[in-house]
Amino acid sequence: GVRATARTRAALPAVAALPFGFAWHFGDVGAANGFDCVVGNPPWVRPHALPPHERLALRARYATVRDAAWRAGAARANAGDGFAGQADLAAPFVERALALVRVEGALALLVPAKL
């Protein structure tokens, strides 16, 4: 409740980020079934430098990282499932943006050509 949240906030160092959650920061958006518009510039980064546990978390959460949209083409290109070794962090950002925008909303993202 409110007291637990206050204790958590008081325990954070002055320089730490506050906890974030869509449910309480954007409750109105959830009630409207998503944002009217999502605009962004996702990172164009291959996640090779990410720790293994973070790469596994991406694979677990995002279909774009674990499953190829066109398996036959990916196999011919030796790309593996999803983007596999050629993964780009822009792909899960696009997937998340699509989940956040409402059905009749607008989505505008600056992404690499391979997406």
Where does the chain show beta strands of DSSP type E? 35-40, 101-109
Average pLDDT score, the chain = 80
**pLDDT exceeds 60 at position 84:** no
State the distance between the two ends of the chain, measured CA to CA, in whole angstroms: 42
pLDDT band at residue 28 using 50, 70 and 90 as cut-offs: confident
Q: Tally the C-alpha atoms within 13 A of residue 25's C-alpha that lie toward its C-beta.
A: 6
Express as a percent the part of the chain with pLDDT over 90: 24
Helix, strand, or coil (residue 95): helix
Alpha-carbon distance 35 to 26, whole Å?
Answer: 9
CB 107 within 8 A of CB 41: no
**pLDDT exceeds 90 at position 105:** yes
**pLDDT exceeds 90 at position 41:** yes
Alpha-carbon distance 29 to 22, whole Å?
Answer: 9
Task: Report the predicted TM-score, pTM, of the whole model to 2 decimal places.
Answer: 0.67
Amino acid at 95: E
Q: How many CB atoms lie within 10 A of CB 40?
A: 16
In this predicted structure, what is the pLDDT of residue 108? 96
